[in-house]
Amino acid sequence: MNRNTNKFSSETMITVFFSKLLKINWIIILCLILLGLVGVASLYSAAGSDWNPWARNHLIRLIFGFCLMFFIAFIPSHFFMKYSVLSFILGVFALILVKIIGSGSVQRWISFGSINFQPSEIMKLALILILAKYFDHISKIQLNKLIPYIIPILIIMIPGFLVISQPDLGTGLTIILLGLSILFFVGISMKFVIFSILISISSIPFIWQQLYEYQKNRILIFLNPEMDSLGSGYQIIQSKIAIGSGGLFGKGYLLGTQSRLNYLPEKHTDFIFTLISEELGFLGSISIILVFCLLITSIMKISFKVESLFSKVVVFGIGFLIFLYLSLNIGMVCGLLPVVGAPLPLVSYGGTSLLTVLIGVGIVLSINIHDKKV
């Protein structure tokens, strides 16, 4: 009897596993694989046709990240709601810890031996989760008033200003923008929107005075890169030259002169899209952007198919986070935005940002499996 029961339970577990496997959005998985392979190939090219020091590590991180993503995908989605507050508290604690024991030329990382961890990246996911839980417990009637938005605004501003004080203006503003986008998604009052815009505009002189000198220079160089063409403006000028020299079809894979001759700084991290544009041209660049658009659209569509407001907000937040990464990075390397240090998801070299995206997508897949409407 026990043998039959065990056989039945094991068969049931296998059936449940495969039924969940079939619910995974494989378009999302395919997009992630394509972008990850583009990243490995680009880093191989950036190192001068060498697997070291970037391509090999990136591939190892991708494999680990994908395993972690699939593991998270099979965790019931209510788990993330249960521990959302704890994750936010730990995230804030880590940001405070960075100010004390942070490493690097600017204090943005916590080091564990040879491993560097950037708490501000993981904080983005924690912010999405806690805001989703908060709004899931607020009725639609209350959302028409301003008072219920005081707590989420504090939740957004605390990590935002902690990151800005590191100093990391770009990531801090990204966190604030991500949080505000969630407020728009849940239906914030237009009165508050107009009030916030007026406050933001009137605060520009005060904010400008609080910026570090190098941050002011970045903004001024963005407006006129030629004012310091051999200094602060060098990156963006060389980036534009490389993108333009790629033309329609590019110079060919492994044949980019700007990157090979080291005219292009940070070609393996923030400016990797420039390397891709030079070697693969406009058609190659636009193809990668289209893959990103397919990934983001596929994620956003899930937010319309799930039951709870918590799940809707989480899926939207993660989709919008990837959109922010993409738009900030491409806008930066094309000279449309100031240089803010935004990586290209799954392509740029960087472990914490890579794992942040894959963990976030793992949460989206979990919601798609466990909280999807029948």
Q: Bigger pLDDT: 58 or 221?
A: 58
pTM assigned to the model? 0.89
Q: Mark whether 150 and 52 lie in a shared domain.
A: no
Q: Mark whether 97 and 194 lie in a shared domain.
A: yes
d(CA 40, CA 349) in angstroms, rounded, equals 9
Q: Mark whether 358 and 253 lie in a shared domain.
A: yes
Residue 327 inside a domain? The answer is yes
d(CA 119, CA 61) in angstroms, rounded, equals 17
Task: Answer whether residue 129 shows pLDDT above 80.
Answer: yes
Q: Mark whether 1 and 133 lie in a shared domain.
A: no
Residue 323 inside a domain? The answer is yes
Q: Mark whether 121 and 241 lie in a shared domain.
A: no
Task: Answer whether residue 235 shows pLDDT above 80.
Answer: no
Give the pLDDT confidence of 142-201 residue by residue, as tens digits.
666 777 788 898 999 999 988 888 778 788 888 999 998 998 888 776 777 677 677 767
Q: Are 302 and 25 contacting, i.e. CB atoms less than 8 angstroms apart?
A: yes
* Collapsed DSSP state (helix, strand, coil) of residue 304: coil
Residue 106 inside a domain? The answer is yes
The DSSP output letter for 75 is: S
Q: Mark whether 236 and 319 lie in a shared domain.
A: yes
Chosen domain end from 156, 177, 202: 202
d(CA 320, CA 317) in angstroms, rounded, equals 5
Q: Mark whether 128 and 59 lie in a shared domain.
A: no
Greatest Cα pair distance in the chain: 83
d(CA 121, CA 65) in angstroms, rounded, equals 15
> Any alpha helices (H) in the chain, and if so which ranges?
2-23, 26-46, 55-73, 78-82, 84-101, 119-136, 150-164, 169-186, 190-202, 204-210, 213-223, 234-246, 257-260, 272-303, 309-333, 351-370
Domain that holds residue 249: 1-74+212-374
Number of domains the chain contains: 2
* Contacts by 49-56, CB closer than 8 A, 24 or more apart: 49/254, 54/268, 54/349
**What is the rounded average pLDDT of the residues 319-325?**
95
d(CA 279, CA 264) in angstroms, rounded, equals 13
* Collapsed DSSP state (helix, strand, coil) of residue 116: strand
Q: Mark whether 198 and 231 lie in a shared domain.
A: no
Query: Model confidence at 372, in pLDDT bands (50, 70, 90)?
Result: low
Q: Mark whether 303 and 240 lie in a shared domain.
A: yes
Give the pLDDT confidence of 63-107 residue by residue, as tens digits.
999 999 999 999 998 899 999 999 999 999 999 988 887 665 566
Query: Model confidence at 16, in pLDDT bands (50, 70, 90)?
Result: low
CA distance between the termini of the chain: 35
Task: Answer whether residue 12 shows pLDDT above 90.
Answer: no
In the chain, the percentage of residues whose pLDDT exceeds 90 is: 39
Of residues 34, 24, 26, 27, the one with CA closest to residue 289: 34
Q: Mark whether 62 and 188 lie in a shared domain.
A: no
Q: Mark whether 111 and 253 lie in a shared domain.
A: no
Chosen domain end from 157, 172, 202: 202
Query: Model confidence at 239, in pLDDT bands (50, 70, 90)?
Result: confident
Q: What is the pLDDT of residue 165?
A: 81
Instruction: Give every CB contact of residue 17 below 8 A, 6+ residues apart in sequence.
Output: 74
Residue 159 inside a domain? The answer is yes
Residue 41 inside a domain? The answer is yes
Chosen domain end from 157, 179, 202: 202
Identity at 327, one-letter amino acid code: S
Residue 207 inside a domain? The answer is no
298-307 CB burial, b ≥16 within 10 A, e <16? bbbebbeebe
Q: Mark whether 179 and 265 lie in a shared domain.
A: no
Please, what is the average pLDDT of the chain? Answer: 83
Q: Residue holding tokens 């919008």?
A: 320
Q: What is the pLDDT of residue 1?
A: 47
Q: What is the pLDDT of residue 141?
A: 55
Q: What is the pLDDT of residue 358?
A: 96
Residue 43 inside a domain? The answer is yes
Residue 55 inside a domain? The answer is yes
Cα separations (Å) of 357 from 115, 142, 275?
A: 18, 32, 22
